[in-house]
Structures are given as C-alpha cells and as structure tokens.
Chains A and B, each alone.
Chain A
C-alpha cells in the first residue's frame, strides 16, 4: 500500500473520532451535563494531564499483567488445542471442562484467586490467562481441523507419517486461525487484568478506577479508560501486524475477498 493510501486509511478513524469528541464537547456544554455524570473531553484531558505524576506506574503494572497473561494464554492455549485435536482423552474429557470454565463469571472467581494465590501479581496474571486462553484454544482446534481432506490424502501418498502431516500440513494451515484467536485474546487480556485489579490490588488502572469511582472523580475514571483504550488498541495492532508478517498469503486473500 503506498503512502497516500495508507494516510487515507489512517485518517478515516482519526477524523471520525475527532468529530465524535467535538460533538461530545458541544453536547455536554449545551445540555449542561454535570461532570460527575459525563465529563466533557476538555475536563478529561485536564484530569489526564494532572494524573501524569502517577499514571505511568499504574499503566505499566496493568500492561505487564496483560502481556504476561497473554503469553501464557498463547503457550498453554495452543498446546491445549493441539492436545485436544490429537488425543481422544483431551477431546472427550478435558474440552468440556474448558467450556465450563468460560461460563463461570470471572468476577466471582477473582476473589477466590486472591485467597488461593495471595495478593501479589500472580492471581491477576492467572485471571488474565483464564479469561483469554479459550479463544486461542478454540481457534487452534479450528485451524488444525479445517484442512481439505485432499491435502491429507496427498501427504499420505508421499508416505508422510502422522507427525509429518501435523507439522507440514495441519500446523501451517492453523496459523491464520490461531492469529485470529490472538486478536480476540489480547483484548480479553486487558479486561482480565483490570477485573483482577478491581478485586485485589493497590496498583494498576483497575485499582485507580475503583478509587476514582468512590471519590466521584468521573473525569479521572475516564482518563483511566483512555489509557486502557490506548493500551488495548496498541496491543491489538501489534497482534494484527504479527498476523500480517506470519500469514501474508492469508491476509492477501482476506483483502481480495472483503466487501468494503
């Protein structure tokens, strides 16, 4: 994509968001909405600027929990996905338990993690992992099994062992699916880190949101949302960039077949 096209693509969301922000500022002023209900963007900016003395440390902690939880979700999620495809035991006995783990409300589990694992970073990373690993597992399974039977037949005609079929056919085919799962997982990781901080933390953006909520500092809460949004967006774009690097053929196919 050339520079002009890239600039046009980037400008669209930026201009749209800018228009929304202006509309928000005007509406809040016109309707005289109090700050504690919905602060104007200018007030949020003021709260963000004021908070620069302490925000960086809290942002770093939430970022760390998110990334470590994400890495665990990738490693364990992919391994579990592979095990479920390759093993009847994992498919029949373990997979239903994974589904159950996703149905349980995480805000109810989070306090238990604190009691079981203590007060430090580990329960937060554990909760981040629990929230995020399932899309990785599901997409790994989908990728490893979404193979055209002719490809498997072709590999067998060349006397490929099951292991070779797995390494040379199934695994490369699953990469685009896994990357799509990671796109979902990274956003869930941010949510998981914040939920864990709501429950037990004295540092992190989730802790600040709790504190500002009690103190009725809605503008400061929005400042936290802004930092969370930026963090989530940056991490998501990093995953998308990785996907483009690792699966250029798949990305090209997507661009050719997309509607708009």
Chain B
C-alpha cells in the first residue's frame, strides 16, 4: 500500500474510533465516585404478566426499588415449578409463586423461602356453567360430574383434599386431564362438567362466557374450608445468607408497590398498562380488586404489616401437600417461610405511599372505562374477609 493510501486508511480508522467512542460515551453513563452502583435484580413472575401482577410494575415504575438502589427487571415465568427451580439455580433473584408448590420444591431439595405472602387466601377454584348445572350449590353436588384440569398442577394434586374436607367421594368424580387452553372450551362444549382454575387467572373465561350469554360461576375452595396459603414472594436460602440486605431492600420496594396497589388500584392498573398494554381487559382490572380482598387479614396487616405469615397456615399447607403428593421428604415449616424481611417501619412506608395522590379513576379512564361502572362500584370497598366466589359473579 502506498504511503498516501496508508495515511487515508489511518485517518478513516481514527474517525471511526472517534465516532464509536463518542457513541459509547453518550450511552454509557459513568458512575460518580463514592456511589455504589445499583444491584441488578431479575424478578420472575410465575406466569405471563396478568392484571394482578400490577404491584410489581408499580414498584418498578414509581421508583420504589430504585429508591433502594435496585435496578429491577420483571420477566415472565412458565409455572411455579419452573420459577422455583430458576430461583434456586440463580437464574432469577426473586419471584412470586404458589405456596403449595413451594412445599413440593423444598421436599425436592430446592431451598427457597417465602418472604412475603402477597395473596393470603388460596385462589384455587372450580368453575362451572350455572345454566348447565343449576343444581351445584356446594362441593357435595359435584359427585357424578367430570372435571377438566391440568395433570400435575397443585390444584389438581390437592383437589382430593378439598373433596375430603367436604365429605365428597373422589371415586364418584371423573377427572379429565387436558392442557390449560382446552379446559374452558371443553366445559362450554359440555365435554366436561366443570374445570379447575384459579379465581384470578381463569377470570377472563367468565367474561368470555358472559359474551355468549352464560354464567360461569366459581366455587372458591377457601370458602369451603381449604386453608392453604395462596401466592407468595420468595428468594433462595442462598441469597438470604449471602445478601440479606438486598432481600430486605427488595421487600421494602415491593411493600410500597403492594400498598400502592391496595390504595390506588386504578392508578396501579394504568401503570401496568405502560409495560404490558395487552392486559387492558376487564378481567385483568378485576383481578386487582379481587386480590385486594384476599390479602393479609386486616388485623395482622395493621399489627405486623402486609405479607405477614403465620405458622398454623403454613403447617396446614405443608401437611396437605405431604399427604396428597405423597412426599417422602417432609420439609420443616420453619424452612418454608420467614417474616424477618417484612419491613419493621411498614407504617412509615404506608404513610409515604398515602401522601401520593394519583389521578382519580375518572381522570385516568375518562368517561368510558372498559369495565362496567356497576362492577367498579361493587368492588371499590375497604379490605375485609374474603368474599365468596359467588359474590364476584
């Protein structure tokens, strides 16, 4: 290469390096000296983002985690079993999952602990079309029917417990194992009499049935003596041991996110839509208010804070799973949960959220929200004991 051409080549390289360096400098912000960089955390949802996950997006959007020097990312999951494995292997740092599945996981050596019970009451339910089965008033009326469900799920595994609690003969019920997508159509096509589904995640089917002129009712197991815990947030034992401070800060941010969702459900939903616009449905909005009636019992929430767990309920949940899943390794109840990360200054956190004044429902949604005003009026109440499934219908 001649000297002239070499000079031109060097010049081009220098310009390219300058452009790249400038671009890097533009996008990569140097951290001021003396400031600890934020902890990068992955929050794993147990399933696809749905309306009731709003409290996690509130914690993200309102900077509740950023205030704790945490840079969080929320990702979807593929079922409680999978997120528990991911928690243990370190693929995610914190997750929400079903409490019954946690018992199963611990018996398999997956050492994860519940740190915040965000949905105190189990939402296991049995759905049926009222017009097809007007005779169903309680569990006893299920004898002789066929029930569609997913093989191996926690609700499927503990369904015999629900039946036994209510004196129903399991042998008189036909179980039909199908994939999630087929349960509701099978019932609508009368190929099954009912299906098992969570009160919250199966709620869209209720609206779909309503569109067809049918009443899809939910028999909530918790209304019939089923005392297992619902959904909890948890982390691995390893993270608690290695970085308890991070766990504490995660819970502080999450606590504020949850309290904000309890106090301002419309605003919480609107925040969620910024990140997950596809959940803009009546059912997704409804699940937030439904969940707000299924949180920590008010007496415990006021005394100890939301997310507080009691030993009796964990013992019940553990013993149920041990019996009906035939677990050979019985986890200790004390290994399943801890209340140590529920913020001691929860009242201060609640007060800080209470000073926030998000826009009213009318201001957020205008004059024509997607859901009926009757529904909004019905469910805009203070927290109380869980309502029966029938009250939602």
Binding site for B on A (CB under 8 A): 34-37, 110-111, 114-115, 118-119, 198-202, 207, 210-217
Closest residue of B by beta carbon distance from A210: B151
B185 within 8 A of partner (CB)? yes
Query: How many residue-residue contacts, CB under 8 A, span A and B?
Result: 76
Binding site for A on B (CB under 8 A): 79, 81, 84-85, 88-89, 104-105, 108-110, 150-154, 157, 175-179, 181-182, 185-186, 189, 191, 325
Do the beta carbons of B109 and A202 come within 8 Å of each other?
A: no
Do the beta carbons of B185 and A115 come within 8 Å of each other?
A: yes
Do the beta carbons of B108 and A216 come within 8 Å of each other?
A: yes
Task: State in angstroms the CA–CA spacing of A111 and B182 once bound together.
Answer: 6
Task: State in angstroms the CA–CA spacing of A211 and B105 once bound together.
Answer: 14
Do the beta carbons of B89 and A114 come within 8 Å of each other?
A: no
Do the beta carbons of B177 and A36 come within 8 Å of each other?
A: no
Q: Cβ of A119: which chain B residues have Cβ within 8 Å of it?
A: 176, 178, 191
A-B contact pairs, 11 of them (CB 8 A): A34-B88, A36-B109, A110-B179, A119-B176, A119-B191, A199-B179, A202-B177, A214-B79, A214-B81, A214-B151, A215-B325
The 7 closest A-B pairs by CB, nearest first: A214-B152, A211-B152, A200-B178, A202-B177, A199-B179, A111-B182, A111-B181
**CB < 8 Å: which of A37, A114, A211 contacts B151?**
A211
Nearest CB in chain B: distance from A151 CB, A: 51
Q: Cβ of B104: which chain A residues have Cβ within 8 Å of it?
A: 215-216
Q: Cβ of B177: which chain A residues have Cβ within 8 Å of it?
A: 200-202, 207, 210
Nearest CB in chain B: distance from A127 CB, A: 12
Do the beta carbons of B191 and A115 come within 8 Å of each other?
A: yes
Do the beta carbons of B151 and A111 come within 8 Å of each other?
A: no
Do the beta carbons of A202 and B182 come within 8 Å of each other?
A: no
Do the beta carbons of B175 and A216 come within 8 Å of each other?
A: no
Task: State in angstroms the CA–CA spacing of A250 and B124 once bound together.
Answer: 61
Task: State in angstroms the CA–CA spacing of A211 and B177 once bound together.
Answer: 10
Contact A114 to B182, CB < 8 A, known contacts A36-B109, A214-B81, A215-B325: yes
Do the beta carbons of B182 and A200 come within 8 Å of each other?
A: yes
**CB < 8 Å: which of B89, B152, B153, B182 contacts A37?**
B89
Q: Cβ of B176: which chain A residues have Cβ within 8 Å of it?
A: 119, 200, 202
17 more contacts with CB within 8 A, not counting A211-B151, A212-B152, A216-B84, are A36-B88, A37-B89, A110-B179, A114-B178, A114-B186, A115-B185, A118-B191, A119-B176, A198-B179, A199-B179, A201-B177, A210-B152, A214-B152, A214-B157, A215-B152, A216-B81, A217-B108
Do the beta carbons of A216 and B110 come within 8 Å of each other?
A: yes
Most A CB within 10 A of own CB, among B151, B154, B185, B191: B151
Q: Cβ of A110: which chain B residues have Cβ within 8 Å of it?
A: 179
Q: Cβ of A213: which chain B residues have Cβ within 8 Å of it?
A: 81, 152
Q: Cβ of B154: which chain A residues have Cβ within 8 Å of it?
A: 214
